Structure 1
């Protein structure tokens, strides 16, 4: 039974992270933290951009939660695991598939192509506003039409 609870906490955390990331992206990254996030909307020079600080912050939070919960594998550990898994999903979808930080993999999957289209629309504007499509895994239906 405890294993199911731990899996539930992890899956719930991944789901909550998508909503939290959407809200942070829209209201903080395109708001008061634009001075950091704008590096992600500009041409990248080199491997890292200032915007990567956000990923480092989430990773630090996840590692801290896992550390404080590791002795008893309590809910802190599983919250950290969920945040870490969302980070892995983010890396694969966002950095690898959408932004080609590595050699991009090809796909004809309707969902993946829709997510890519939505993200490209988000980056169409190089300014703080106007902008749309702030999610990673969820986007408006209009981007999934063939």
Structure 2
């Protein structure tokens, strides 16, 4: 059971750091034509950028199926990637971008920091000059309390 929890955590952590690298160097690089739909106003619920979620979700599903028979590391890493995807959906699509208006804006200090970092990322709708590419691991400056 400890190994399973370790591989779930590993899958989650690998997603955060590979997601950061993919976001910074591929999405804001050669894959900008797809990702730019996320930086532009849209009247549609779906955007071309959602293809990235399908890709990452597909990787998780493949890992789960490959490891299902023996419940080996692939299964648990797929579960970790899936857990990341679920939390990404709630934080990014529901809380930050309000694609579904299920909750109010975050009041928790950690969630507020994530919110501020993502707002800073979207200050530009250009390929260059973007900041803060992670979801959970963001610069400390976004967690500082505002003066009243």
Q: Which moved more, 1:99-108 or 1:78-87?
A: 99-108
Match of 2:7 in 1: 9
Q: Aligned pairs, how many? A: 144
Give the secondary-structure state (helix, strand or coil) at the position aligned to 2:48. coil
Q: Deviations over 1:97-145 (max 9, x none)?
A: 1000111523321111111011001001010011100010111111111
Equivalent residue, structure 1, for 2:113: 114
Q: Secondary structure at the match of 1:51?
A: helix
Q: Which runs of 5+ in 2 are unaligned?
A: none
Gaps of 5+ in 1: none
Q: How does 1:94-113 map to 2 (within 5 A)?
A: 94-106=92-104, 107-113=106-112
Aligned to 1:69: 67
Aligned partner of 1:126 in structure 2 is: 125
Distance 1:61 1:15 in 2: 15
TM-score w.r.t. length of structure 2: 0.94
Q: Give the deviation of 1:45 after TM superposition.
A: 2.2
> Is 1:38 matched with 2:46?
no
RMSD (Å) for aligned C-alpha atoms: 0.9
Aligned to 1:89: 87
Q: Secondary structure at the match of 1:23?
A: helix
